[in-house]
Amino acid sequence: MTENFNTVEEVLSWRSFSLDDQVYDLSHLNAHFVEYTDEENQGNKIKFIVTYGLHCFTKDSKGFSNEELSLYIYSSSKETRAFDSERYELSKHLPKIIESIGNKSTLVCHAGHGNYAIIRVIDLRGNAIDYFVVFKLFREIKRFRLHVMSAYPCKKEKIQKVGFFKIVKKLLEGKNLPLPSQK
């Protein structure tokens, strides 16, 4: 792609993590572009810069001894957390999951704090698990960005669905994004 990311204020290229002579490549979480087509609205296309946060492959470091933490520590410009091999393995699915957000079959819901989430069931080592992918959409200097804030295995009991292109339409119009209904 000929476009650049020099105005994006997130990690654009993740460095690998090493533990016990094993290297964990994180390049699948490097910034990239995705274009979505709204088939229900005259096939309109919208392009997003996609970035991924540290929480997609790390977890809270509580419960780690200082010795363990020194082995598992991973830092970005904004925070430091413990590398998590389960989240790392699941994160390999994130680019494909993000590309599928515009599909009718993808369940998008409210995730709280003005964020949204995708719930996917991923087959991991023969076990089906729920994978909760939290993201936000916003304008960033005349462009649109989708930032995946976190992704983790989790059962989400009560959800409020929201259409992805309903969110995108509000973003394009410069209006407030949809919030969960109050019951």
pLDDT digits (tens, 9 = 90+) for 84-102: 999 999 999 999 999 999 8
Domain-embedded: residue 75 = no
Query: With 70 as the cut, is the pLDDT of residue 123 above it?
Result: no
Alpha-carbon gap, residue 84 to 182, rounded angstroms: 35
Kind plus residue range of the DSSP H or E element containing 166: helix 164-173
Give the model's pLDDT for residue 59: 94
pLDDT (average), residues 53-69: 90
Per-residue model confidence as pLDDT tens digits over 133-180 = 999 999 888 889 999 999 998 876 678 899 999 999 999 999 999 888
Domain-embedded: residue 89 = yes
Token pair for 152: 């983790």
Query: What total of structural domains would you count in the chain?
Result: 1
Domain membership of residue 165 as a residue range = 17-55+84-173
Alpha-carbon gap, residue 19 to 11, rounded angstroms: 21
The answer, as to whether pTM is greater than 0.75, is: yes
Domain-embedded: residue 146 = yes
Domain-embedded: residue 181 = no
Alpha-carbon gap, residue 161 to 156, rounded angstroms: 12
CA 160 to chain centre: 19
Query: With 90 as the cut, is the pLDDT of residue 51 above it?
Result: yes
Query: With 80 as the cut, is the pLDDT of residue 120 above it?
Result: no
Alpha-carbon gap, residue 121 to 118, rounded angstroms: 10
Domain-embedded: residue 3 = no
Give the model's pLDDT for residue 103: 87
Domain-embedded: residue 93 = yes
Domain-embedded: residue 179 = no
Alpha-carbon gap, residue 119 to 6, rounded angstroms: 31
The residue with tokens 């016990």 is 20
pLDDT band with cut points at 50, 70 and 90 for residue 58: very high
